[in-house]
Amino acid sequence: MANPTDAEAGAGLAGDRTEATSDLYRFKKRVTNLNKWSKLLWSLVRAVLLIGMCFVILYPILLKVSASFKSMEDLTNPAVMWIPEHASWSNYKLAMNVMDYFTAIRNSITLSLVTTVLQTFSCALAGYAFAKLKFKGMNVLFAGVILTILVPPQTILVPSYINFKSFDLFGLFHLIAGHGINLLDTYWPFILPAITGNALKSGLFIYIFRQFFRGISKEIEEAAFVDGAGVFKSFRSIMLPNAIPAMVTVMLFAFVWQWNDSYFSSNFLPSMNTLTTATQALPYKVNVMLNQTASNVDPFYASMLVDTGLLLSIFPLILMYLFVQRYFVESIDRTGLVG
């Protein structure tokens, strides 16, 4: 803004200047105008692009929300597109019944919370050691972390399954009970790896923590050591409070991935009802339920119930995301995801 006014004032002062300078002035003005226009155009294009893509992301969710409130009449009513005329909670009630929602949500929350907390702590510990407490042979161990990231879970699922089916620690349980303990359908197959930092995606979390702790300057830590703090104390009172952004990221990811995991939970918890297994079984169960009352199942109605159930299963996640989102979105630049 400053340049044109200056130039104008200058032009006014000089009165009749030479042709060349006024040409230059006009040219400059045109360029700034052009810049302004291209900027405006760019922000318009950007807005259209971003709004369009936000719509693409939100569309399936909005669709399900709208479907979940519809009743049978709304389904057949061609005038109803988005907002149902006879909105009701009946779909929710039915879906909750079919899924045994409250048991499922309790199981899911317990499982995800426990593993998240344990995993965050154990991965922070390991990540800190990898970043700051160097010793010989550490690189070999870190290669092990990378290996846990690379190996697909399918490779170790079968042996882990057999292992947890008759779990044994150094043949100890064999001595006492004569056979291993069956840990399937308990939380232990998730808790034990979580405590030791080898649960779902733990390698990635250790990597994130390592990158983050490497970024914390040596001086802060050394100041603590000079003041007489031990390694433990500096970890607890200097490093962990500083690592809150990384911890939020890791906790969010750990919680969400555990919550959404159907692979391990369907194998290790075959008869426990978690939200993911309930959701997976939902289409089948809805069909069975509808078959009991009617001779032929209306596919529209069935899929409406399934959609409602799916919404119910992601609802806790969305609720949590609404609270954490601000912190998460603002803090990614400090999480040390980037070395």
Report the residue from 144, 172, 185, 315 that binds another protein according to the rule CB under 8 A. 144
The one-letter amino acid code at 11 reads A
Contact yes or no for 239/128 (Cβ under 8 A): yes
Q: Which one of 2-10, 11-19, 22-30, 312-320 is the stretch in contact with another protein (CB under 8 A)?
A: 312-320
Q: Which residues contact 277 (CB under 8 A, 6 or more apart)?
A: 104, 262, 265, 266, 269
Give the residue with the Cβ less far from another protein, 26 or 46: 46
Smallest Cα–Cα separation from 317: which of 119, 112, 115?
112
Minimum CB–partner distance for residue 338 and another protein (Å): 5
Report the residue from 128, 209, 213, 268 that binds another protein according to the rule CB under 8 A. 128
Write out the binding residues for another protein, residues 172-231 only, by CB under 8 A. Answer: 179, 192-193, 195-198, 206, 225, 231
In 294-339, which ranges are continuous DSSP H helix? 299-331
Q: Which one of 9-17, 105-113, 288-296, 314-322 is the stretch in contact with another protein (CB under 8 A)?
A: 314-322
Give the residue with the Cβ less far from another protein, 1 or 329: 329
Write out the binding residues for another protein, residues 65-84 only, by CB under 8 A. Answer: 67
Report the residue from 31, 73, 299, 315 that binds another protein according to the rule CB under 8 A. 299
Contact yes or no for 221/234 (Cβ under 8 A): yes
Residue 24 β-bridge partners: none
Minimum CB–partner distance for residue 225 and another protein (Å): 8
Q: How many residues bind another protein (CB under 8 A)?
A: 94
Whole-angstrom Cα Rg for the chain:
30
- Binding characters for another protein, 263-282, by CB under 8 A (x = yes): x---x--------x--xx--
54 phi, psi to nearest 5 deg: -60, -40
Say whether 167 sits in a helix, a strand or coil. Answer: strand
Report the residue from 14, 48, 53, 62 that binds another protein according to the rule CB under 8 A. 53
- Binding characters for another protein, 237-256, by CB under 8 A (x = yes): ----------------x--x
Q: Which residues contact 69 (CB under 8 A, 6 or more apart)?
A: 84, 87, 88, 89, 91
Report the residue from 184, 290, 304, 312 that binds another protein according to the rule CB under 8 A. 304
Write out the binding residues for another protein, residues 90-119 only, by CB under 8 A. Answer: none
Looking up tokens 């050394």 gives: 222
Write out the binding residues for another protein, residues 11-40 only, by CB under 8 A. Answer: none
Burial class (CB in 10 A: 0-12, 13-18, 19+), 232: exposed
Q: Which one of 4-12, 14-22, 24-32, 63-71 is the stretch in contact with another protein (CB under 8 A)?
A: 63-71
Report the residue from 71, 88, 90, 166 that binds another protein according to the rule CB under 8 A. 166
- Report if residue 283 touches another protein, rule: CB under 8 A: yes
Q: Distances from the Cα of 186 to the Cαs of 57, 200, 263, 272, in angstroms?
A: 36, 17, 16, 8
Give the residue with the Cβ less far from another protein, 84 or 193: 193
Q: Which one of 4-12, 18-26, 98-106, 305-313 is the stretch in contact with another protein (CB under 8 A)?
A: 305-313
- DSSP letter string over 139-161? HHHHHHHHHHHHS-HHHHHHHHH
If one counts every other C-beta atom within 10 angstroms of the C-beta of residue 167, the result is 17
The one-letter amino acid code at 80 reads V
